[in-house]
Amino acid sequence: MQIKIVALNARFTHSCLALFHVRNELEINCPGVETELCQLTINDSYYETLLRLSYGKPDYIFFSAAVWNSERVEQLILDLKQCLPDCEVVVGGPQAVVIGQHLAVPCTVVSGDMEALSATFYRDLESKRLQTLYGGSFLRMDKRLLVSPYREEDFNSHLQNRNIYYESSRGCPFSCTYCLSSAEQGVYHKPLPQVEQEITQILAHKPTTVRFVDRTFNDQPARALAIWKFLMMQNVETLFHFEISPDRFTEEMFAFLQSVPAGRFQFEIGVQSTHQPTLQAVSRSMDRVAALDNIKKLVAFNTIHLHADLILGLPFETRESFGRSFAELFGTGAHYLQMGLLKLLPGTAISRDADSWGYVSCDQPPYAVLANQWMGHAVLQELYWFCECVEKFVNNRYFPSLWAYLRRRGEDVFVFFQGLLRLCQQRNFFSLAPTQEFLGQLLQQFVAERADGPLLLEFMRYDWLRCGHRYLPSCLQLELAEDQPQAVKDALFQLSTADPAGLFETLFEKGGRNHFFKTGFFLRFSGHCLRELGLSLGGTQGVVVFLSEKEESLYRLNKTIVLQDSTIPHQTSHMK
Encode pLDDT of 373-423 as tens digits: 999 999 999 999 999 999 999 999 999 999 999 999 999 999 999 999 999
End-to-end CA distance of the chain: 64
Quick check: is 13 in a domain? Answer: yes
Q: Are residues 202 and 96 in the same domain?
A: no
Q: Is residue 148 situated within a structural domain? A: no
How many domains is the chain partitioned into structurally?
Answer: 4
Classify residue 172: in a domain, yes or no: yes
For residue 142, the model assigns a pLDDT of: 54
Please check whether residues 544 and 567 belong to one and the same domain: yes
Residue 96: give its domain's CATH number: 3.40.50.280
The residue from 371, 394, 417 where one domain ends is 394
The neighbour count for residue 306, using CB atoms within 10 Å, is: 23
Q: Beta-carbon neighbour count of residue 425 at 10 Å?
A: 12
For 157-183, write each residue's pLDDT tens digit.
999 999 999 999 998 888 899 998 766
> How far is the C-alpha of 457 from the C-alpha of 440, rounded, in Å?
9
Same domain, 88 and 176: no
Structural domain harbouring 565: 481-575
Is the pLDDT at 115 greater than 60? The verdict is yes
Instruction: State residue 498's pLDDT score.
Output: 56
Please report how the helices 453-466 and 400-408 are oriented relative to each other, as an axis angle in degrees rounded to 10: 140
**Nearest Cα to 49, choosing from 102, 16, 9?**
9
Say yes or no to pLDDT of 60 above 80. Answer: yes
Q: Is residue 156 part of a domain?
A: no
Q: What pLDDT sits at residue 174?
A: 87
Nearest Cα neighbor of 522 from 570, 482, 550 is 482
Domain end point (choices 351, 369, 394): 394
Q: Which of 477, 502, 535 is a domain's end point?
A: 477
Same domain flag for 370 and 429? no
As a whole number of angstroms, the distance between CA 353 and CA 350 comes to: 5
Residues 503 and 419 in one domain: no
Same domain, 216 and 353: yes
In a domain, 492, yes or no: yes
pLDDT for the residue 574? 45
Q: In the structure, what pLDDT confidence band is assigned to residue 539 with cuts at 50, 70 and 90?
A: confident
**Axis crossing angle, helix 192-203 with helix 221-232, rounded to the nearest 10:** 30
Return the minimum-mean-pLDDT range out of 197-201, 297-301, 318-322, 480-484.
Answer: 480-484
**Are 470 and 494 found together in one domain?**
no
68 and 185, same domain (yes or no): no
d(CA 545, CA 465): 10
Distance CA 364, CA 419 (A): 33
Query: Do the Cβ atoms of 176 and 282 come closer than 8 Å?
Result: yes
Strand partners, 38: 6
The average confidence (pLDDT) of the chain is 92
CA dihedral 492, 495, 496, 497 (to 10 degrees): 130
* C-alpha span between 72 and 311 (Å, rounded): 26
For 144, phi then psi, to 5°, come to: -105, 145
CA–CA distance from 144 to each of 25, 52, 316 (Å)?
12, 35, 42
| DSSP designation for 343 | B
Do the strands 2-9 and 34-41 form a parallel or antiparallel pair, or are they unpaired? Answer: parallel
Residues 111 and 205 in one domain: no
The residue length of the chain stands at: 576
Are 375 and 403 part of one and the same domain? no
Number of H helices, E strands in the chain: 20, 20
Residues 241, 333 share a domain: yes
Q: Is the pLDDT of residue 570 over 60?
A: no
Residues 127, 220, single domain; the answer is: no
Q: Assess if residue 326 is contained within a domain.
A: yes
